[in-house]
Structure 1
Amino acid sequence: MKYQDIKFLGVDHVRIGKLGMNESTLDMNLVFNNPNRMGATINNARGQAWIQDIYIGDFLLSEDVKIPASSNFSVPVSLKLNLKDLVKNSLNLITRDSIALRVDGSAQLSKGGIIKNFPLRYSGRQSSQQLLGQLRF
């Protein structure tokens, strides 16, 4: 199976999932593009996330996701937050025009019993206003 790696495009629909002193979560969709002419299922996605080189936590795929052929799609993930470091640097983050976002992890694609592991890596900038504008409580 000649299957090209899917491409990470960004983040959308950011929501506060759980807010607490011991554990907080941020639910969001990771947006990807499938350049292949056939669909598949993505599962077992997990990894870490950083904002401005500040580790903010680990993410885990909320559910298996069917990937349509040759199109963009969203993957719902839950990010367990490292709230202490995030709060400590929050003023610095919200006063910037754009924020450096980095994701490093891995996932599996499955199609008809064939499984392919692939990296989930992204490093880029997103508008601070756009990210904050998506935040829902």
Structure 2
Amino acid sequence: MKKTALLFLLLPLLFSCGTGNLKDPEFVKVENVTIQNASVQQSTVRLDLQFFNPNNKSASIKKADGSIWMAEDKMGDFLLDSTITIPANEFFSVPVYLHLDIKTLAKQALVAFMSDSVSFKIDGNARVGRKGFYKTYPFHYKGKQDLAPWLEGLKK
């Protein structure tokens, strides 16, 4: 009887913290691209992935990881291991460190000279939640990306 009463007390709390009909954040653009570490084999690039949260609730990202692709080439893997606040109905940036293969980067530099945008894809997982309840969600984006921020960052 006590377990049933406890369940009925906790049920409204769980539903009030639930995600309901939340929409996925919308990828906007890549910005603030800078080379952090360069070597003959691999470079580390810091970049901000900007998103828009269309929901009227804020949340947090505790961890995210995945891969970034340009055209059909995998540029590298990224990892976010710090907490990012996602404000309600606002833009937010997720700083990530991308480990790039130099050969792939050189190939994409040639693509940049021939075009001002390229097919861009992100695949990954993020641990998102609020009020202490977190769940891992897959995220995917595929679209065209302006290469200007990448080129500006690589010039520095």
Question: Normalising to structure 2: TM-score of the pair?
Answer: 0.78
Match of 1:133 in 2: 152
SS of the residue corresponding to residue 42 of structure 2 reads coil
Amino acid at match of 2:140: R
* CA deviation string 1:41-100 (max 9, x = no partner): 112101001111111100111521011111110000000112122224532333212111
Match of 1:11 in 2: 30
Alignment of 1:1-137 (within 5 A): 1=18, 2=20, 3-61=22-80, 63-135=82-154, 137=156
CA RMSD of aligned residues (A): 1.8
SS of the residue corresponding to residue 125 of structure 2 reads strand
Q: Is the 8 A contact 1:62 1:77 kept in 2?
A: no
| Largest Rg, 1 or 2 | 2
Structure 1: runs of 5 or more not aligned: none
Judging by fraction of residues, say which structure has more helix.
2
Question: Normalising to structure 1: TM-score of the pair?
Answer: 0.88
Q: 1:136 to 1:28 in 2, by over 3 A?
A: farther
Q: Distance in 2 between matches of 1:59 and 1:132?
A: 19
Q: Is the 8 A contact 1:48 1:104 kept in 2?
A: yes
Structure 2: runs of 5 or more not aligned: 1-17
The structure showing larger relative contact order (alpha-carbon pairs under 8 Å, at least 6 residues apart) is: 1
Q: Is the 8 A contact 2:27 2:51 kept in 1?
A: yes
Q: 1:8 to 1:92 in 2, by over 3 A?
A: closer
Count of residues paired in the alignment: 137
